[in-house]
Structure 1
């Protein structure tokens, strides 16, 4: 082995087996009933009776299926998005109209636009005469 080579270390996992918690002791509510049964071949078996296992109650079925609820919620969400986009579009249109009115008001106040001279004052203000 060369001096630069190292022997690889192999680590094997060690399983941990925790001891299970002891089952709680539930005191009996009374002396259980003892039953004796005679089998067809004549043998007798004596033991405690075990109550029949009760099946778990069935979960109540919801009045409306989950698919119907999901479809309805999707429709409500779609309507909310459409309404929001409509309101946004209406707001942008109103803002555009407001800015247009401000531009028209400025043109009326300052005398309009002349192609050669650009924005000019009215003639009475230029000459000083009335």
Structure 2
């Protein structure tokens, strides 16, 4: 697993609320299939991370695509799936914004480091090896 080889963590959004919201939809929307898919994906990611000894971080998705990753201000929609910050001028696709915010939350949750707490530090590594 590349995450273990490079001493990274695996980060994913907690989709529990999404799954709960899908349950409220009418049966003709086949929510059971969607719910099963999300649950299985979450389970598989967590299982693989644990199996390979890689930290798995679950992040609350609230605000990940609507808050500016640079200054923390509320973003406004420029056009379909594209948002801009009126405060600092940052503009990007909402998927890119979400990735930056998830990374930021994970970094904060790990105490400033996305490597495992027991990972060797740069001072412990022999150069050119």
Give TM class, smaller chain.
under 0.3
TM-score, normalised via structure 2 length: 0.24
| Bigger RCO of structures 1 and 2 (CA < 8 A, at least 6 apart) | 2
Q: Which has the higher helix share?
A: 2
Q: Which has the higher strand share?
A: 2
TM-score, normalised via structure 1 length: 0.24
